[in-house]
Amino acid sequence: MSSTLFLANIRTKVTLLKQTVDAVQFPGIQALLAFPDPDIAFRSGLFAVESTIRKLSRQIDDLASIHTAWTTSTQKLRPTDRTSEAESYKNSITAPDNFLVILYMARNTLEDLHTAKLNLELRVGRSTSPVDSVPSENVPVNPNSQVLMQSSNNMINLPKLQIATFDGDQFANGHNSGQLFST
């Protein structure tokens, strides 16, 4: 009976995955700003989040591949053996803390980690030293970087876009109408 092997493997992977999900700590923006050098704190937080993303992704992929292997091997069985395997599968997914629920929670946590990573990446590029930051509601703003950004945007010389005016009269008389609809 292959279901016992798959279930044992799944239980092991679920335990590891659940421990990883429970251990995830999201870095607080305000706490990182309180560090003496917030830029280093944000970079450290970013590295920690990226590491957790990789670890959680691997564990999710491992559990998903075991689940796929189990369902694939069940489909290859004879009909008499398949019913007992299907019963084992049904019992495993109807348990209160089944692996599909843990997998769902892990995927949600992974999405939250990706959001945290994006938030940290937005902060890492800014100068966040407490001396020249002006606190607003939740986002620290460095007035020096904004002035530089505004002046650099003004220095970009883009070509002027010129669009020829449309004269509808040339199509009203049937001229060039075949050319318009042939393409």
> What DSSP element (H or E) covers 153?
helix 143-154
pLDDT 10s digits, 51-100: 999 999 999 999 999 989 888 888 888 888 888 888 888 888 887 778 88
Q: Supply the pLDDT for residue 76.
A: 87
pLDDT along the chain (183 residues), means of 10: 80 90 85 85 89 93 91 85 84 82 92 90 63 44 46 57 63 54 50
Q: Supply the pLDDT for residue 25.
A: 85
SS3 37: coil
Which pTM value belongs to this model? 0.61
Distance CA 59, CA 17 (A): 6
Count of C-beta atoms within a 10 Å radius of residue 138: 7
User: Where do the domains of the chain lie?
Assistant: 2-154
Q: Supply the pLDDT for residue 179.
A: 54
Q: 157: burial class by Cβ within 10 Å (0-12, 13-18, 19+)?
A: exposed
User: Two tokens at 72?
Assistant: 């694939």
Q: Supply the pLDDT for residue 8.
A: 87
Helices of type H across 24-139: 29-33, 38-75, 79-93, 99-124
Distance CA 13, CA 23 (A): 15
Q: Supply the pLDDT for residue 181.
A: 52
Q: What is the mean pLDDT of the chain?
A: 76
